[in-house]
């Protein structure tokens, strides 16, 4: 969103004064936060889902709940299937 000219001038003036008064702080504020690659986020999410499936399966075994065991196993199998499909598509195309 673009600021009106007057507000932009005031903001530029504040930035200039900050840079003069405290150059280290101004440099820190101007530095953008490092971005995490999308691929890393996807892999972390899939691994988290896999671990959650294992936990659900272990809770199902502890509670002797067939529903939880099947649900956890389904999640774990789904993660493996997802990876297999991705690898298959990559090699094919």
Residues 6+ apart with CB under 8 A from 65: 59
Query: How many beta carbons lie within 10 A of that of residue 72, not counting itself?
Result: 21
pTM over 0.75: no
Domain boundaries, the chain: 1-31, 38-92
Computed over every residue of the chain, the mean pLDDT equals 89
Residue 77 confidence (pLDDT): 96
pLDDT at position 22 is 85
What are the pLDDT digits (tens) for 55-68? 999 999 999 999 99
For 2, residues 6+ apart whose C-beta sits below 8 A from its C-beta are 8
Residue 7: φ, ψ to 5°: -65, -40
Each residue of 69-90: pLDDT tens digit? 999 999 999 999 998 898 899 8
């Amino acid at each position: 969103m673009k600021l009106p000219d007057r507000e932009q001038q005031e903001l530029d003036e504040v930035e200039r004064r900050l840079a003069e008064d405290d150059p280290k702080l101004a440099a820190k504020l101007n530095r953008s936060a490092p971005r995490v690659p999308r691929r890393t986020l996807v892999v972390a999410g899939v691994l988290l889902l896999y671990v959650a499936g294992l936990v659900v399966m272990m809770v199902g075994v502890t509670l002797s709940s067939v529903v939880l065991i099947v649900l956890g196993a389904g999640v774990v199998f789904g993660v493996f299937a997802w990876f297999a499909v991705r690898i298959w598509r990559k090699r094919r195309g």
